[in-house]
Amino acid sequence: MFYTHHKPFCLGGKLSKRGKNWTEAETITFIELWSEYYDKLMSGGSRNTPIYNLMAEKLKEVLPNRLLSGADVRAKIGNLVTEYRRKRKEQGKTGASPCAWPYFDLMDKMLGEYYHLHYIF
- Reported as a single tens digit per residue, the pLDDT across 107-120 is 999 887 765 555 54
Q: What is the mean pLDDT of the chain?
A: 81
Confidence of residue 89 (pLDDT cuts 50, 70, 90): confident
- Reported as a single tens digit per residue, the pLDDT across 33-62 is 999 999 899 886 678 999 999 999 999 999
CB 107 within 8 A of CB 31: yes
Does residue 65 sit in helix, strand or coil? coil
Q: Phi/psi class of residue 62: alpha, beta or left (left: φ > 0; alpha: ψ in -120 to 50)?
A: alpha
Domain boundaries, the chain: 23-116
0.85 exceeded by the pTM? Answer: no
Identify the bridge partners of residue 8 per DSSP, sorted by sequence position: 17
Predicted pLDDT at 102: 94
Q: Dihedrals φ, ψ of 9, to 5°?
A: -140, 160
